[in-house]
Amino acid sequence: MLPAINLKKRNIGVNFNTDGKAEIKLWAPLAKSVELLLTKSNEKHALKEASYGYWLLTTDALKPDDLYQFVLDGKSPLPDPASLAQPETVHGPSQAIDICAFNWTDASWENFALKDYLFYELHTGTFTSEGTFAAIKSKLDYLKELGITAIEIMPVAQFPGGRNWGYDGVFPFAVQNTYGGAKGLQHLVDVCHQKGIAVVIDVVYNHMGPEGNYFGEFGPYFTKKYNTPWGNAINFDDEYCDAVRQYYTENVLMWFRDFHIDALRMDAVHAIKDFSAKHILREIKQEVNQLMAETGRKHHLIVELDLNDTRFINPLEKEGFGMDGQWIDEFHHALRVAAGGERTGYYSDFEGISHLEKAYRDAYVYDGIYSPHRKKTFGSKAEHNAGEQFVVFSQNHDQVGNRMLGERSSQLFSFEMQKLMAGAVMVSPFLPMLFMGEEYSETHPFLYFVSHTDPELAEAVRKGRKAEFAAFHAEGEAPDPVDEATFNKSKLQWDLLEQEPHATMLQYYKTLIALRKKLPALQHLNRQHLEVSSDENTKTLILKRWHENQQVLCLMNFSEEHQQVQLPKNQQQWHKVLASADPEWNGPTTSPETVDASAPVILQPESIIIYSN
């Protein structure tokens, strides 16, 4: 087993000690010789072989901001796998960065408990016209006023070119240079904390991107034991895996310790192949716990998971992997089908209103029942997992961008239905997440885009996108992911905020978010204090939540007709706190301020009414 990780500093790649010398540690277990190449002077400095396949060097020849590469066995120079900066693309030399030199001003910042997170997912390149971390700072006051408590930034690990969703990153430690690099991200986080906003970074530990991926040149970072959609799996449990596991654990600790990131969203952890006695996620959680004990800071680990397996989110003491929360796509799928969305591909598993009812009650829709789409019994019950462990949404980067034309809800559903879907998310006993622009009904699509420089790879991506939509029976041609115009079409249109109906939608979202924070029954995520029922014939759903003496009743009509619903009898009167169909929100008619439980309520088409006692 490798020596224990030093929690106080990064223990891999190039780091600078208190004397200003570069301490270099490279894993290359199969190499016979390793040299540091200084790009500017063309000098070479030999590294000394150490245990477990590591090579070491301490030198004052390499200074912060210098460019460097490694030469293995006299072959062509290679960038550092643990590089902190790639200023000349993924194929160029690495740049030495003193990651600890940043002057933080957030000593008084205290991360929120997970139950208080209200996520806003954004893509740095398309969130603003500039597409940089610095430009995000100009929108923080807007997000604060909206009611957001945490921004979730799509992956920032260095990728080829300047246009990518981020899931083709090939340097997990290097922050994308076109976004502003390491210092730009540190400054953004510092400003977010000054304004009371937490920062979540999306990280990818299930695969590497295809272009600029030099990891195989250094050692067995991958294993042929398992096939993944991206090729050979990352080596978490085969020969030489100890150093690979430590590499990724070090990466987690770096984000928390050196960038002051508050939470990580780990992409598609179901694609991580690890049959070790201790799963890599469990090991990561243990190391993060130690870091938190040492620093006194709080950090959260959230996973994207497509297995409906509570082992991932159960605590360590219950033999779980200890992840704090997960994205739950099934709520999204049930909501979209209930709203009248198509039932192709994986949506074919969802029955709409009845499955939305089940999602409110059980979190997982498929919790040990037969899945026609998967053609097998699927999932486990999440009855003992708290509401704060589940992140829900009406759209996200995947569900929008994985459509052939990248249509947002604004292009697929009516204005009234968009308001209903937003309400359905906000009244849930789970953690809500918005996808950038949905709060004002952004009309631009969010398309899939890349900027691969390898022509063969670019063509392969084009063909792959076309094949992907066969299961959805999509007609026509997918926009070219490599064309810069595809990227530019995906940028937000901030001028829409001053126009209708976008200004009204924004005020509606602000009101919804404020209600969620104000009403104890919505604020407290007690899944036991919930009753829900639905009617498939009328496409109506009644959700009741309560905390102590405060009760909230949410009536939803997903049909295009007026519907009549009967209120629960245990409360004499209900007072309206929000009705999406009111003229205030560009709706057709005003709902009564007070209703008597003895009389039925008429619901406007595609609407939600929230009552309180």
CA distance 608 to 555: 5
Using CB atoms within 10 Å of the CB of residue 349, give its burial: 0 to 12 exposed, 13 to 18 middle, 19+ buried: buried
Order of all β-strands in the sheet with 530-535: 530-535, 540-547, 550-557, 607-612, 573-579, 594-596
DSSP structure class, residue 606: T
Position 344, amino acid = T
CA distance 307 to 309: 5
Q: Which is the catalytic residue, given 304, 324, 362, 442?
A: 304
C-beta contacts of 97-101 below 8 A and 24+ residues apart: 97/14, 97/64, 97/65, 97/182, 98/16, 98/64, 99/10, 99/15, 99/182, 99/254, 99/258, 100/9, 100/15, 100/16, 100/258, 101/64
The torsion angle over the Cα atoms of residues 596, 600, 602 and 608, rounded to 10 degrees, is 70
User: CB–CB of 61/45 below 8 Å?
Assistant: yes
Which sign does the torsion angle of CA 270, 319, 294, 25 carry? negative
- Give one DSSP letter per residue of 7-22, joined into a string: TTS--SEEEE-TTSPE
Residue with tokens 């030199």: 101
Name the token pair of 332.
């999204």
Residue 267 among the catalytic residues? yes
- Give one DSSP letter per residue of 562-576, joined into a string: -EEEPPPTT-SEEEE
User: CB–CB of 198/118 below 8 Å?
Assistant: no
> Residues annotated as binding site for substrate?
265-270, 329-333, 397-402
Q: Which is the catalytic residue, given 211, 237, 267, 309?
A: 267
Alpha-carbon 364 to chain mean position: 19
> Residues annotated as binding site?
265-270, 329-333, 397-402
Residue with tokens 């770096």: 254
Name the token pair of 105.
């001003």
- Give one DSSP letter per residue of 443-498, joined into a string: -S----------HHHHHHHHHHHHHHTTTTT--S----TTSHHHHHHTS--GGGGG
Q: At what angle do helices 415-426 and 329-338 cross, to 10 degrees?
A: 140
Active-site residue numbers? Answer: 267, 304
